[in-house]
Amino acid sequence: MRRILILGGTAWLGREMAEAFIAQGGEVTCLARGESGAWAPGATFVRADRDTADGLGTVAAQRWDVVVDVSRQPGQVRRAVRELQGQAKFFVFISSANVYADQGTQGQDEDAALLPPLNGDVMESMESYGEAKVACEQAVLAGFGDARSLVVRAGLIGGPGDIFGRSGYWPLRFAHPSTPDNAVLVPAAPGLPASIIDVRDLAAWIVRASLAQLHGVFNATGDVATFDEHLAVARQAAGHTGPLVSAAPDWLHRHGVAEWAGGKSLPLWLDDPLWRGMNARSNGRAKSAGLTLRPLAETLLDTLAWEVATGIDKPRRAGLSAAEEAGLLAELRSTNSS
Ligand SMILES: NC(=O)c1ccc[n+]([C@@H]2O[C@H](COP(=O)([O-])OP(=O)(O)OC[C@H]3O[C@@H](n4cnc5c(N)ncnc54)[C@H](OP(=O)(O)O)[C@@H]3O)[C@@H](O)[C@H]2O)c1
C-alpha cells in the first residue's frame, strides 16, 4: 500500500485529494493545525503547526511514497523539502496559474515567463501570492529535482464545496433571482473568456498522476468557454427563463462592482485586459497527460445542489447580495429609461 502524506488536507482541494487517494487504496496521513475543517474519513490526522520549530517532526521521521503540499508560504515549503527530501520518493506541489508574469495574453502554456520569486519565508498578503508560489515551486524543484516532482499550476477551482462562492454564484443567482420579474444582472462581456476546473477532476488527476510519478510542470485549468457561454450553462442548470439585464463594464465599475471575486462582485468576470489571460490558459499538456474534465453543466448543477444544501442565505465570499443586485437593477433600469 502506498504511503501518502498531505501537508494540509483539511480544507477543500486537500481533503478532496485525501479522499481520492484513499479510494485508490492509499494510506493517507494529513498534517494540519485542524482549523480549516475536518480530515477525510480513513485518513490519519497529525495535528501540527508548520510554523513551529518541530512542526514536521512526527512525519519527518517516517518514509513516504508521495508527499503533497498545498502551502503558499515559501518558508513552510522550504522546510518540508529539507526535512522530507531523504524520506519521500516523490513530491507534489499544488501551485497556481498566478505564477505567470503576463496574465493578459490568452492561450499561454507552461513555458510562459514567471514572476520573480518572493524574497523571504512569509507571504504577508495575497498581493504577493504569485511570487510566493514561484518561490515554493523553486524550492521543490531544487530539492527533489524534475524527475521526483510534480508541479500543478491550478486555474480557478470550482465545484461542490466552493466556500469562496465563485463557481456557485451564477447558478444560485439564476435559481434564486433577487427581483419579482426574475431578472439577473450580468456584465456585458462579449468574447471574454471564462474557465473553472472542477475540484473533483483536479483531485482525481493529481492522484492518478502522483501515483504514476508523472513529473514536470502542468497547468491544470478548465477548458475555456466564453463568459457568455458559461452564463448560458449556469442559466440552464438553474432553469432560469427571466430576463438578463446587461450592464456595461464602466457602469459596473462606477457603481463599485468588482470583477472576479470577493464582496459586491460579479464572479469569474475578468474585463481587465491585464488579467483576461488568467481565464484562458492552455491545459493541453495536462490533458495529454491524462487530465479529464467533466462537462461544465455537471459541475454547475452539482455546485448549485451544494449551494442549496448548505443554505441559500449563508454569508457569501463572492458575488452580489440579493439587496445589492436588486438596487443595481433598479438603478440601471431607471438610467436606461430616462
Ligand atoms: N481555490 C482556487 O481557485 C485555487 C486556484 C489555484 C490554485 N489554488 C491552490 O490550490 C490549493 C488549495 O488547497 P485547499 O483547497 O486544500 O486549501 P488551502 O487553504 O490552501 O489549505 C491549506 C491547508 O494547509 C493547512 N495549514 C495552513 N497553515 C498551516 C500551518 N501553519 N501548519 C499546518 N498546516 C497548515 C490548512 O489546515 P489548518 O488550517 O487546519 O491548519 C489546510 O489544510 C492551494 O495550494 C491553493 O494555493 C487554489
Cell numbers representing residue 207 in the block:
492522484
Closest CA to 158 of 211, 200, 119: 200
The count of other CB atoms within 10 Å of the CB of residue 95 is 24
Closest CA to 275 of 134, 158, 137, 100: 100
| 3-class secondary-structure state, position 307 | helix
Is the CB of 32 within 6 Å of ligand 1?
A: yes
Is the CB of 12 within 6 Å of ligand 1?
A: yes
pLDDT-derived band of residue 335, with 50, 70 and 90 as boundaries?
confident
Residue 290 to residue 214: CA distance in whole angstroms: 10
Ligand 1: which of 28, 33, 52, 79 to mutate, judged by most atoms within 8 Å of the beta carbon? Answer: 33
Closest ligand 1 atom to 9 CA? 43
Given a cut of 90, whether residue 20 has pLDDT beyond it is yes
Given a cut of 80, whether residue 338 has pLDDT beyond it is no
pLDDT above 70 as % of the chain? 100
Residue-wise pLDDT for 47-93, tens only, equals: 999 999 999 999 999 999 999 999 999 999 999 999 999 999 999 99
228 Cα to the center of ligand 1, angstroms: 31
Is the CB of 96 within 6 Å of ligand 1?
A: yes
What average pLDDT does the segment 172-176 reach? 98
Beta bridge partners of 266: 259
Is the CB of 94 within 6 Å of ligand 1?
A: yes
Determine the angle formed by the axes of helices 13-23 and 199-211, rounding to 10 degrees. 50
| 3-class secondary-structure state, position 121 | coil
Residue 11 to residue 14: CA distance in whole angstroms: 6
Residue-wise pLDDT for 275-306, tens only, equals: 999 999 999 999 999 999 999 999 999 999 99
Sign, CA dihedral 137-143-146-151, equals negative
Nearest residue (CA) to ligand 1, atom 34: 32
Is the CB of 34 within 6 Å of ligand 1?
A: yes
Residue 11 to residue 51: CA distance in whole angstroms: 18
Q: What is the pLDDT of residue 337?
A: 81
